[in-house]
Chain A
């Protein structure tokens, strides 16, 4: 498989990289303030809205967007579609950093971070808690992702020494490579099980919010809906990322393989929407969608963004064109993102007059996290064999 990918090379200290570094540093400063003066000093989090964009975006939506590795693994290793293999590495890379930074941002968000290890201490663990399952799964999955991604790093350290700083290339990792190749299949399997568990459980998290979550989102189907939408978003991010980087990094677009991949998505979106709508009708909650308030507006935006790609991608001809493909992928990502924001923030109302909108610092910390992800992505694709080789370059 090593023949499929190679580093794209080039200078990594570009202007966009420096701007991103600026955002990351500023966010780092704000995080420092958070640790010295408390969460309230930098965020608008309150007793009414104890979870804000850090949880909703960085963790819940962030890991769903980072489902590329998971979705592609299902396709390639479970459904045995070897032809998609070239897309695995970039997807995995986005997943590695998406999940790693989600895990880091949890430690910005939780108040008593110095006791965070209590999660993994049997004396304290509460098996009834959805949160426990999510936390343990995400922690394990971050490790699994790095194990899955390690061969790329090993390969880079062996074959593209010239690219890397000396301290990275002085070890011989060929021994490790051998061990890895023996056991990797187990971690790939684990890397499919764990997201299946926690992406559904991220939805289950809100079950216990009961009536505080609007009936437009509060349903026993939350775990299933979260899982299907996460897998769909996984494919969407692979398409989006590929097309975006083809323009951004000035590479030819991989449209034919993406067109094929996008054929899966109408099925997934269709299944999702059927469950979503039937559930609303059966529970008699659809009336809330006509309440003409912020919640109902967001409900319609969310679902319109699911319907749009469904309509576009049903046409095989559209799937072969880069722009509709790009816009559909973007639409799915936004739909999943807004679905998660709706289920965690906009549909959530603790009652008795509470309101929430993230503060300047809160948003900038999230920006810093996104900026760091993009920086890491740019660095790795330039130095390590991640992106597929192209004939046209």
Chain B
């Protein structure tokens, strides 16, 4: 039965049943899913006949994305790859290497055609036929095109595969290109989810995977294919320093009095107002409150946002995209002036009285010519 399944998985994972359910609930809450979804997730994870197969390709990357995942604590990465998914190919983590590893990839593609999830980290160089990134004698471009067309869905992990990242920064000597563009150019229709960030928050990745495992579909995405649960709001909207922004209190130099007081970092070039991510809500690295860039006193540099991170100068000021919340501004035309009800009443009464008096006098005067004869 369900509970029995959960119990067995819990045992296998080395955590209590309670702990496991709690984790699933947290993941559900993180994605803004309704109460009870946590159990659904737990059920899906435990009931799965076969763990969903995952192939992980790396191109022009720094392994920061994998490193970030390795530091997740709930669940830990080993639980993810050993119990939640079946990680069939990962260049850094695979036990086999060389031809063996390539064979595993080929086998998995063949076996799970149309069912496996493809994760890509790193941008794909396309300049000079893609020779700037070669794996097993083949270009990353070639491998991606081959693997992508048989995948169920693709998760572009990190800024490089999402929108180009560091390798695509000016002058982009290798022609570093994001995954989606490669697929579009090659006419491959496999859906892409992007989890930008440099590195991305591991929980945004884990939550997306678990959502897929549970519901067999991808979460709701924004127009840049980012899951809305994680990238639906600007950093500026949930930033802990936002009250300082609203009050006009800014740090003007690193280490100045205002910086030490924890004031807003906008003047230092914080890109929070134009960057969508949930960093201020879920923080980074599981080490407690304040552990995220802005929390530590460094302005956000906009890594999750195309055209901001690695593109806009680090200390240049962000432009604001949204008026939030709009009600805090007085409009150009505001209805002002005190209530007139009592005034209107007394004015009407006075007008009435005056009319009566005048009417009375007019009547009494008649068309008298003043000689009192009529």
Contacts and interface: CB of A to CB of B under 8 A. Distances in A.
Interface of A: 44, 46, 48-49, 243-244, 246-248, 252-256, 258-259, 320-324, 326-327, 330, 352-360, 362-364, 367, 392
Interface stretch (B73-81, B137-145, B314-322, B338-346): B338-346
Contact of A255 (B343, B344, B369): B369
B367 A323 contact: yes
B332 A322 contact: no
Given A48-B337, A355-B336, A392-B372, 13 more contacts: A44-B338, A246-B365, A247-B361, A247-B365, A248-B361, A255-B371, A258-B370, A321-B367, A330-B358, A353-B335, A354-B336, A359-B340, A362-B343
Nearest to B361: A247
B50 to A, nearest CB: 67
Contacts of A48: 336-337
B362 A323 contact: yes
A323 B370 CA distance: 10
B327 interface: no
A353 B334 contact: yes
Contact of A322 (B340, B347, B366): B366
A322 B338 contact: no
A10 to B, nearest CB: 19
The 10 lowest CB-CB distance pairs between A and B, nearest first, are: A255-B370, A357-B340, A360-B342, A355-B337, A322-B365, A44-B338, A353-B333, A322-B368, A321-B367, A247-B361
Contacts of A321: 367-369
Contacts of A363: 343, 346-347, 350
A364 B349 CA distance: 12
B343 A358 contact: yes
Contacts of B369: 255-256, 320-322
Contacts of B347: 357-358, 363
How many residues of B sit at the interface, in one of the four size bands?
20 to 34
Contacts of B216: none
Contact of B368 (A248, A255, A355, A359): A255
A321 B367 CA distance: 5
15 contacts: A44-B339, A44-B343, A48-B337, A49-B337, A243-B361, A246-B365, A247-B360, A247-B364, A255-B368, A256-B369, A322-B370, A352-B333, A353-B334, A353-B335, A360-B345
Nearest to A330: B358
A252 B368 CA distance: 10
A253 B365 contact: yes
A253 B342 CA distance: 39
Contact of A354 (B337, B339, B362): B337
Interface in B200-233: none
A40 to B, nearest CB: 8
A57 B243 CA distance: 49
A243 B340 CA distance: 35
Contacts of B333: 352-353
A250 B325 CA distance: 70
Given A326-B362, A359-B338, A364 B346 contact: yes
Contacts of A352: 332-334
Interface centre among B332, B345, B358, B370 (most CB of A within 10 A): B370
Contacts of B360: 247
A223 B366 CA distance: 37
Contacts of B366: 322-323
Contacts of B339: 44
A256 B369 CA distance: 7
A244 B357 CA distance: 10
A357 B370 contact: no
B225 to A, nearest CB: 44
Given A46-B337, A323-B365, A367-B350, A254 B358 contact: no
A321 B335 CA distance: 50
Contacts of A252: 370, 372
Contacts of A355: 335-337, 340
Given A352-B332, A355-B336, A363-B350, A323 B343 contact: no
Contacts of B370: 252-256, 258-259, 320, 322
Contacts of B372: 252-253, 392
